[in-house]
């Protein structure tokens, strides 16, 4: 079985970021899809924040129709990220309302829970669409998730992360927490003991389960989807620069901090030493020649970042420009694969 994992397409996003609308550039991806038994779209597939959802969807429609034809019998699994969290928000809301069992790391999301998912399913037919959240066990030892949970352990290094820090440390603004599953407990918390105070910093504070991650980010994402001013603040440089200064982080140290944060998420979700494939930061790796120990999480998770399908191609210097994806085949370790892209067709600027 060959699984192809592609992340951060941001379809329908601002001009230039959404290059897959150009058929010359989607062709290499569709070719790669034809050779796969299963395709995982690893979140931030659609840009549902920056434009009215309807616009992004209509812009992305031809791509989904092409994708459906290219799949020809292969499985398609969609995982939501922060920019398209709206895809799973209605399903999550229903779960929370029912006070169902704690959310696991891999859950099938019903297509009927969202009108957008129903549309996507129609467009990719006859291929069948499955939605998994917050991630998917690709294999017993390979877990794939978008990676937006890492923002909960990054401190104030962007406007969006500042807002997450605020919602994490202001308990009264959060919905009530459900009991966490005992297998996911870590740290000094014991059943029956008094709740531990939330301490800042990745070591103790912040979420420890899928429910708690969703409590920290869910309502913020919903607000970002609907408030343009908030969105502008989330992406502005001022809070990012100020936060980095206060955290004593240089721009060069940010990727390392992001990997540590993803390793922290893997540890808190109980993923052990699994391979953990993620995207979100658009920083692909480990790249050829890079020390693999730099990509190891606190609990031994082996991290792999798919990067952003075309951003890498647009910024690659020297050699043939390539887009990146992760391939999981047989019992081999997952590998980061470059796929050649006709860069001349890329939009300028
Ligand atoms: Mn993201």
User: Average pLDDT by consecutive 10-residue portion of the chain (349 residues)?
Assistant: 94 63 77 94 89 73 92 94 95 85 95 96 95 98 98 89 79 48 43 38 74 92 88 87 86 92 97 97 91 93 90 66 90 92 55
191 alpha carbon to ligand 1 midpoint, in Å? 34
Report CA(260)–ligand 1 centroid distance (Å). 17
How far does the centroid of ligand 1 lie from the alpha carbon of residue 7, in Å? Answer: 9
Taking the centre of ligand 1 as the mean of its atom positions, its distance from the CA of residue 134, in whole angstroms, is 12
- Pick from 218, 283, 227: which is nearest to 254 by CA? 283
Residue 243 is predicted with a pLDDT of 85
> What are the DSSP calls for 279-317, one per residue?
-SS---BSPTT--GGGGB-TT--EEEE---TTHHHHH--
> Ligand 1: distance of its center to the CA of 213 in Å?
15
Query: Distance between CA 26 and CA 175 in Å, rounded?
Result: 41
* β 322-329/335-340 pair status: antiparallel
- For residue 325, the CA-to-ligand 1 centroid distance in Å is 16
- Taking the centre of ligand 1 as the mean of its atom positions, its distance from the CA of residue 346, in whole angstroms, is 22
Distance 306 CA to ligand 1 centre (A): 12
How far is 254 from 251, CA to CA, in rounded Å? Answer: 5
Ligand 1 mean position to 282 CA, how many Å?
8
Among 270, 280, 260, 269, residue whose Cα is nearest residue 203:
260
- The pocket of ion ligand 1, defined by CB under 5 A, consists of 44, 81-82, 280
Q: How far is the CA of 64 from the centre of ligand 1 (A)?
A: 20
- Within 8 A by CB and 6+ apart from 162, the residues are 156, 239, 243
Taking the centre of ligand 1 as the mean of its atom positions, its distance from the CA of residue 161, in whole angstroms, is 12
pLDDT (0 to 100) of residue 23: 67
Q: If you measure from the C-alpha of residue 13 to the centroid of ligand 1, how many angstroms do you get, rounded to a whole number?
A: 13
Instruction: Check residue 343 and give its pLDDT.
Output: 65
Give distance in angstroms: CA of 190 to centre of ligand 1.
33
Q: How many A from CA of 80 to the centre of ligand 1? A: 9
């Amino acid at each position: 079985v060959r699984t192809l994992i592609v992340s951060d397409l941001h379809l329908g996003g601002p001009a230039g970021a959404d290059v897959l609308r150009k058929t010359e550039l989607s062709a290499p991806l569709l070719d790669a899809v034809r050779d796969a038994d299963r395709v995982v779209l690893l979140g931030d597939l659609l840009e549902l924040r920056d434009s009215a959802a309807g616009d992004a969807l209509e812009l992305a429609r031809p791509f989904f129709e092409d994708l459906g034809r290219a799949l020809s019998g292969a499985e398609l699994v969609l995982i939501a990220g922060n920019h398209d969290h709206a895809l799973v928000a209605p399903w999550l809301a229903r779960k929370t309302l029912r006070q169902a069992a704690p959310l696991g790391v891999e859950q099938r999301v019903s297509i009927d829970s969202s009108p957008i998912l129903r549309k996507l399913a129609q467009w990719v037919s006859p291929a069948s669409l499955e939605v998994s959240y917050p991630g998917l066990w690709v294999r017993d030892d390979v877990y794939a998730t978008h990676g937006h949970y890492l923002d909960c352990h990054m401190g104030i290094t962007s406007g969006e992360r500042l807002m997450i820090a605020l919602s994490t440390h202001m308990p009264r603004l959060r919905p009530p927490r459900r009991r966490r599953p005992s297998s996911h407990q870590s740290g000094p918390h014991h059943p029956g003991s008094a709740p531990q105070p939330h301490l800042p910093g990745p070591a103790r504070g912040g979420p420890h389960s899928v429910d708690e991650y969703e409590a920290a980010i869910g309502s913020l994402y919903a607000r970002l989807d609907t408030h343009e001013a908030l969105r502008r603040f989330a992406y502005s440089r001022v809070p990012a620069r100020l936060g980095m200064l206060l955290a004593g982080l240089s721009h060069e140290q940010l990727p390392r901090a992001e990997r540590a944060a993803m390793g922290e998420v893997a540890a808190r979700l109980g993923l052990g030493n699994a391979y953990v494939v993620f995207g979100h930061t658009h920083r692909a790796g480990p790249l050829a020649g890079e020390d693999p120990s730099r990509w190891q999480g606190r609990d031994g998770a082996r991290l792999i970042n798919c990067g952003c399908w075309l951003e890498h191609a647009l910024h690659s210097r020297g050699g043939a420009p390539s887009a990146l994806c992760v391939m999981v085949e047989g019992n081999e370790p997952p590998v980061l694969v470059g796929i050649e892209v006709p860069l001349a067709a890329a939009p300028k600027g």
